[in-house]
Structure 1
Amino acid sequence: MATYNSIGATYAYTRRPDPRIAAKIHQALGGAATVINVGAGTGSYEPPQTVLAVEPSAVMIAQRPARSARALEASAESIPLADDSTDAVMALLTVHHWSDLEAGIEELRRIARQRIVIFTFDPDINHRFWLLDEYLPEAAAFDDTRAVGLDRLVRLLGGARVETVPIPHDCTDGFLAAFWRRPEAYLDPEVRAGISMFAQISDDVIRPGLARLSDDLSSGRWHQRHADLLDREALDAGYRLVVADL
């Protein structure tokens, strides 16, 4: 929670839901009449049938839109709700922040009647993203300490299907790989403030890599090295939907 109380202040501005990603998430929820959003943050991607948001950070809750679902200040590892409270539970870009993944997944399984939808990333692919691979390998090493392998997640869910979520080049949700074709964005402190990895790593570790990126953008080296990205509409950066039917 401390992390999101510190970085959450910019989320409403830099982490606006992308409609193409929203469509995939809502499709994955299927015909659920009621949905609870766990690790809900500011409420991105919540469908109209959302009845409750569970979020540990008061800073995040304060940024939820006025007409969004009621928010309960609680952690995923201990949700004060009855068994089978909802048709479906969704947890979006949150499981890598949980202090006890096993406990959190068990809570999702306990409160959901029909389906669990988790939006996460495959660390084996995500950590090959050019920003981490070429400029911030130290950050990638840190990310390894919290990343959740897909095999582990599927096992804890008791089985699940995994769907690829390509990231559009103009993605409006500013998570880590959202700016894969807009590299200059990573030099913007406000953009970085909405990406948890940057908030959790000291500036001393980040600064040299960002300086190299700035130099490569000024010289044109980045564009030469990544010319293959410039005409692409979307990229598989490792983001996945994990969908479990109960």
Structure 2
Amino acid sequence: MPEIREKRVYVDRAATVEAYVAAELGVAVARVSGDKIGEFSLVERCTARDVAATALGVAAATDDDVLLGDGEDFAETGFGPAVAVAGVGDGVLAAGADGTVARYDGDDWTTVGSVDADVRALDADLVAASDGVHRVTDDGLAPAGLDDARDVAAAGVPHAATASGLYALGNGWMDALDGDFRVVASDPVSASPGELGRAHAATPEALYAHDDGDWTTVSLPVEEVVADVAYATDAPVVLTEDGTLAVDAGDGFRHRNLGLHDARAVAVVADDGE
């Protein structure tokens, strides 16, 4: 099995990593070394809504089930149709189209709770839904505020992407950027409690990067809508909805289109061959 890293975690600069992409056609994997995007292939044919690197393996939320595997061979877990998935602690967190959120420990699923809304994304203990942000607690799911949340990032300082802007959690939710935000990602390795570290956020028109407390726009080599961001080494791995991967290891973005339409999520793991 590849060495599994949390989604949006980077590994040593010298390592080749594998970027797993969830798309309408299935789950694909591309090898990334520095800013070079090498060979790629479809490893599971399905309708994939989300993908995450977890302590139990690569997890994919699909229209039929949550699949879990070593990156090459995937097996059903019995969750049922899923719309989002994330690594949480030693297990997997998943959400269904009916708003149910459950945790998987490698053997069984345990329901955490449910929301009376559409779940859009999960990250660690945060849930982004059409009625706002929720947090996983020992007692279930607790509303955490905001409206129309599209994505969440938990590391360092929690952030939420919403229809009205990007928000940071401090003494309540505070404005970070104005706009119609669809994506937010933060890097747990560069973050510390109360400090955001490396992070990215995106509207349909623009990508923003966080550095030393400030958000600045980033120019991509393609005019495509950003679907997700993950982190390999010190390089962000940006996925667009048209299936393009773009990687910047310090000298600007290099990119490659994987030919996957309706791409939705990317997760990075270390390649055990390195």
Compute the TM-score of the two structures, normalised by the length of structure 2. Answer: 0.29
What TM-score do the two structures reach when normalised by structure 1?
0.31
**Structure with a larger share of its residues in helix:** 1
- Per chain length, whose mean CA-contact separation is higher, i.e. which structure has more relative contact order (CA < 8 Å, sep 6+)? 1
